[in-house]
Amino acid sequence: MINDGVSKPLSVVILTFNEELNLPQCLRSLAGLECETFIVDSGSSDRTAEIARSFGATVVEHPFVNQGLQLNWALDNLPIRTPWVMRLDADERLTPELAAELGTILPSAPADVSAAEIKRRVYFWGRWIRHGGYYPFWLLRLWRHRQARCEERWMDEHMTVESGRVIRLGHDFIDENHKGLGFWIDKHNRYADREVADLLAAAKGSSAEAPGNAQARRRRWLKQNLYGRLPMFWRAFFYWLYRYFILLGFLDGKPGLVFHFLQAFWYRFMIDAKLYEATTRVPQDPRPQAQPAESGRAG
């Protein structure tokens, strides 16, 4: 992947911090695409930069505050010369079918198409999490250069497009982290801090912009207007019951048992505990400390 953006249709932007375990699979999935690849790293101490350069990617260093700010900085400052831009996380990869679809669609997309949504397929312990409301989940990950921005939230940020038509692609990208359960738990502990920061900001009247994706708007509305009105602590239990039994999460086997329990109950319960601590006990700075790059989504 030699970076010759003048003749290529697509630039892929990947935010990283210590991603030597995930990055090779991500970059390998781009091998069949005519694209240039940018790695925006926030101070990795492992082989992330070396691996990226070995695949022909351009590596740029920039301090990390949150996902939205980092991505928007990248869109404003990287030397992107291609008509299309795609966002990937280091623990994500394209399926071969999606890579082939991109190669076909990008050169011939109608002029009124500004962006495309792609289905995310989450794997946990090697198993595709197909139930519990986790698939299909559509994310806006592909757009014409300078026609999309990322919400600058602490958590659950989405890309927004001001004008033009948004289409949906037929194939998936895969989200699979190879760092193990301990990393997953530590990451979600940090995610909980970010969610609490967003909740406290919303309580003060600092409302975030609504994402352009209809599915994301619906989920955010339900979180704020249904889940948010349920009794604190109990709502995490109700949500897990809904995900695991009503939405058939139990069909995802033992990996699904662990994933849905941790993601739907433990993580949501921890958010309530941190919110309770921040609003009723010793006053403290509710803002999460700046952390290295990782997606602001709890998945």
pLDDT of residue 222: 79
pLDDT of residue 3: 46
70, 294 contact by CB (below 8 A) = no
pLDDT of residue 22: 98
pLDDT of residue 208: 53
3-state secondary structure of 205: coil
DSSP category for residue 263: I
Going residue by residue through the chain, which has 299 residues, state the pLDDT in tens, using 9 for 90 and above: 444 445 799 999 999 999 999 999 999 999 989 999 999 999 999 999 999 999 999 999 999 999 999 999 999 999 999 999 999 999 999 999 999 999 999 999 999 999 999 999 999 999 999 999 999 999 999 999 999 999 988 888 899 998 999 999 999 999 999 999 999 999 999 999 999 998 998 888 765 555 666 777 788 887 888 898 999 999 999 999 999 999 999 999 999 999 999 999 999 999 999 999 999 875 555 556 655 666 656 65
pLDDT of residue 215: 74
The residue written with tokens 């692609």 in the block is 169
pTM score over 0.85: yes
Segment holding 159, helix H or strand E: strand 159-161
pLDDT of residue 272: 97
Handedness of CA 76, 77, 83, 86 (dihedral sign): negative
Helices (H), 44-203: 48-54, 67-77, 96-105, 181-203
pLDDT of residue 268: 97
Closest CA to 60 of 78, 84, 86, 36: 78
Q: Where are the beta strands (DSSP E) in 55-133?
A: 58-61, 84-89, 92-94, 113-124, 127-128
Domains of the chain, CATH where assigned: 10-175 (3.90.550.10), 181-280 (no CATH)
Q: C-alpha dihedral over 74, 78, 81, 83, to 10 degrees?
A: 0
